[in-house]
Amino acid sequence: MSSKPLRVVFFGSPDFALPILDALARRHDVVLVVSQPDRPAGRGLSLRVPPVAARARELGLELEQPRRVRSEHFLARLASVGADVGVTAAYGRILPPALLDIPRHGVLNVHASLLPKFRGAAPVQWALIAGELETGITVMQTEEGLDTGPVRLQRRTAIAPEEDAVSLMARLALLGAETLVEALDLLAAGTLPSTAQDDALATHAPLLTSDDGRVRWSDSTSAVLARHRGVAAWPGSWFEYSGTRVKVLEMSAAPGRTVDGGEVTTPAGAPGTVTTAESDGLAVATGDGVTVLQRVKPAGSRAMSAHEWSLGRGPKVGESLA
């Protein structure tokens, strides 16, 4: 489908938004890019430029990094560019009604879930933690509420068993770019649908906390592994052993594993108990079976195989990681 390019204001900050900005710049007239301000980061607290701000400069696009999107100065700047539509993709701030009314067609948001499921800042992570088999991209009309506006276009995709938050986010960013371009073509043609969300089906996906990465050994093996995939970008999986936090770098299910000559189908001890320590990893009891720790990183130490850790200061068979 081909249509006249639209004048677009783009709001975004992290890597997820880059393919979407690139697609917009190829197909439409991006009259302004809005990103979060540069912020101190790292041990040296040097200023870190948001990826979208850096890309806007590379593309030679007009860039604003306002500290307050509600300020009269910024709202006047936005009004001055004469945008047909605004687009947000992981911008990181809720936009006020006064801003949403400025572009002629309002503001569309590229959201990485099948709304109304997983409204909020971390939809990819929580979809994985919940064990979802399918996710997708929703282009929605932005309203004052948190991801509550009408669905304008939606595309689905299966979640591969090996995908984690990092790889799935990267793939959804590409799907988001494709879906948005399609949505803008339909918008320009006056045929973009609009369907109200069913609030009764809504689930929420708030920002992760450090505690969300803690391994819940009493959960099922599938739930332990689902959480591990979901927190891969941050905070990562972890547990405590002997007063030390231990990061889990690699873990897997243990189908067909044996203990004392018998196939493990139920936990061989209380959840969190190390059931075997072999060269391929440490088998740890879960709520319904076992999972295998393959690589770990104890606090203050280097990354190593779980077997190597066990041979040193790590746990032995029968000890608990709960």
User: Residue 102's pLDDT is what?
Assistant: 98
Q: Tell me: domain 210-311, CATH 3.10.25.10, correct?
A: yes
Burial of residue 301, with CB atoms counted within 10 A of its CB: 0-12 exposed, 13-18 middle, 19 or more buried: middle
User: Residue 4's pLDDT is what?
Assistant: 86
Return the CATH number of 7-201, one of 3.40.50.170, 3.40.1710.10, 3.40.30.10, 3.40.50.300.
3.40.50.170
What does pLDDT average to in each consecutive run of 10 residues of the chain (322 residues)?
85 98 98 95 82 98 97 97 98 95 98 98 98 98 95 98 97 98 97 98 98 98 97 98 97 64 57 95 95 97 97 96 93
Judge contact between 107 and 8, C-beta under 8 A: no
Judge contact between 164 and 92, C-beta under 8 A: no
Taking the CA atoms of 98, 99, 103 and 106 in sequence, report the sign of the dihedral they define. Answer: negative
pLDDT digits (tens, 9 = 90+) for 64-79: 999 999 999 999 999 9
User: Residue 259's pLDDT is what?
Assistant: 38
Pairwise CA distance, residues 298 & 63, whole Å: 42
Q: What is the pTM of this model?
A: 0.93
pLDDT digits (tens, 9 = 90+) for 253-279: 986 544 344 444 455 689 999 999 999
Boundaries of every domain in the chain = 7-201, 210-311
User: Residue 2's pLDDT is what?
Assistant: 55
Pairwise CA distance, residues 36 & 171, whole Å: 23
**Pairing state of beta strands 151-158 and 134-141?**
antiparallel
